[in-house]
Structure 1
């Protein structure tokens, strides 16, 4: 009787030990899975933080670049109000120096001979045939690419650029005195064109 009881007790003990081992093994596996999951979550959190930091940095850089462009446009408009001296290539005659200028709000561009004094009335009411509205500026082309430039080859094509207008459809084909000026004018007129495009929407 005692032997049977001992045998049963041994069976129960072994069963308990096995269950304990299984439970311990399950717990270890679950802990390992949780640790892996935590590590994955930490990695994902770090990845997301890096992405957020990059987006914020990119956004700050974009805002700073836009602020610089706006400041440049403000200065360029002031420069246009005072007038810039360029060589104009027209559909008739030889290329000639002209002062390209704008009203204070940069609603229109006009051009005149450097010899002509910039009287108040001429600035307020330029001639119709020498005036274009900036809202009609649709493209700024670098280089000597238009018909006027093809007809009268410029001595420095790299310093040339064209302003393309609609209503009426025409180009204003200009050559700057220096390459640096040309780049400055290209940048300024492109910003002016972007502003005009926003106003047309």
Structure 2
């Protein structure tokens, strides 16, 4: 019994927030057809499919046989013939961002894939957090802080980068730095209510300590 040869999963990039899966080969790359079509409107999708029918899909054994992949040169040729703003922007992204990045692919490809996947996941998590903060807190969204944790599973079928974002309502600093920052010209990026709550909490803590000190003095007498 012979084991089937395992091929690496496709790289996943993001264009306008939507995933584009691709495989890299020594002299070219192939992009998943479904991902490209999802970026365009109905008429543009139909036009692009019609143009690419003249070019066979990439039959590299590395690809999933159930999912067609278009060679990058054939896709570029079809996009030039569409002559629409959306297809022109897609071509610009391919030529100015995707292809130059692939040309810099180092010998340590798994590390490059890991960095790329985690960067894309971090961008998604942060964009969602900012969107929720603006919608939920209004003008106070600028005072929101987040802690982002990322993990990467290299043997996952899709090389998925896992991300988890936790909302924070404070920044880490020592008391001396906090005091100097509050008393400084710019002060804290907090509203009056938050500053009053901070002052009240400090006053309450100081009153408790003074009460304990007075009780100890009385007991000593």
Structure number with higher relative contact order (C-alpha < 8 Å, ≥ 6 residues apart): 1
- Scaled to the shorter chain, the TM-score interval is under 0.3
Higher helix share: 1
* TM-score between the two structures when normalised by the length of structure 2: 0.20
* TM-score between the two structures when normalised by the length of structure 1: 0.22
